[in-house]
Structure 1
Amino acid sequence: MKTHLLARAVIQDAGHVLVAQARGFGHTFLPGGHIEPGEGMQAALARELSEELGLSVEVGRFLGVVEFWWTDQQGQKHHELNHLFSACSPQLRHDLPVASQEAHLSFDWVPLGQLDVRQLEPFPLRNLIREGAAHAWFASAVQ
């Protein structure tokens, strides 16, 4: 089993959340990515967002962790730990398109009520984002 340690951004504006989609896949996910060895989570997220969006994004408060297991097309099992932070930038608004700096990714603003339709993964994020929380989140899709 392969383990992934990830830092992800919850970027919201006017009832919309910014999601990423890898070309050729049907599901979406939050912007961010893998934490490099020796790198802090917030620094990793700032780096990933700069690489993906070409913008300086302010990483805010820690929101929680969502754990997820999945199997890829080759049958390899994966275990993800998604560390979630709020984030914002004056250049990120739901009424403006977001240009990807990475050819394999696209970004889109999704209304909170459409997270199921857009297949946001890991799926526990859908309700956590819609409901918001005053305390740190933890959700597991692991049985």
Structure 2
Amino acid sequence: MSACLMEARVAAVICRDGHLLASSSGSGAACLLPGGLVHAGEPIELALRRVVRMLIGIAVVETEFLAVVERRYRDDRGRAIHEITFVFDACLEQRLDQSEARPGYVWLELEELGASDLQPVQVREGLAAGRFDNSPWLSITSR
């Protein structure tokens, strides 16, 4: 078996007034949940709190586990990556209004989430349905 880089990540579901906060690098790009890497030895929930504070600038006060997304892919340099992302619903210390401009972020309408380009598709489908059927474990294999 060839060498594979293992990455642990966290992602936050942050909703306000019927909308979901997602990161986007511009027109035509897929949207992602706000998130980032877990540091070696760092507890998952603390990583989520650190990453959200760093990206959004607001502390997380409450979390609820939603799903684990496992995927394997090759990065731009051809390296094999095995990524595991822990997805949490995140309640923030203070209200994050839709009117506040956050560079690199967009608000997606929850009612139209199924038609959005939120990735990965399994997370989009689970959030659009309001549940993750049968199991919170989502496995995705790509290139």
Interval of TM-score (by shorter of Structure 1 and Structure 2): 0.7 to 0.9
Query: Contact (CA 8 Å) 1:31, 1:49: kept in 2 or not?
Result: yes
Q: RMSD value over aligned CA atoms?
A: 2.4
The whole-number CA distance in structure 2 between the counterparts of 1:136 and 1:58 is 26
User: Match for residue 40 of structure 1?
Assistant: 43
* Larger radius of gyration between Structure 1 and Structure 2: 2
Partner AA of 2:86 in structure 1: H
What runs of 5+ residues in structure 2 fail to find an aligned partner?
none
User: Match for residue 137 of structure 1?
Assistant: 136
Say if 1:114 and 1:61 are closer, same or farther in 2 by CA, change over 3 A.
closer
Query: Contact (CA 8 Å) 2:34, 2:52: kept in 1 or not?
Result: yes
Residue 8, structure 1, aligned to residue 11, structure 2: yes
TM-score, normalized by length of structure 2?
Answer: 0.80
Partner AA of 1:97 in structure 2: E
Which of 72, 80, 96 pairs up with 1:92? 96
**Which stretch shifts more, 123-132 or 55-64?**
55-64
Q: Percent identity?
A: 27
TM-score, normalized by length of structure 1?
Answer: 0.80
**Residues matched between the structures, number:** 136
Partner AA of 2:32 in structure 1: F
What runs of 5+ residues in structure 1 fail to find an aligned partner?
101-105
Residues 44-80 of structure 1: CA deviation (Å, up to 9, x unaligned): 0110111111111224111121112222233223221
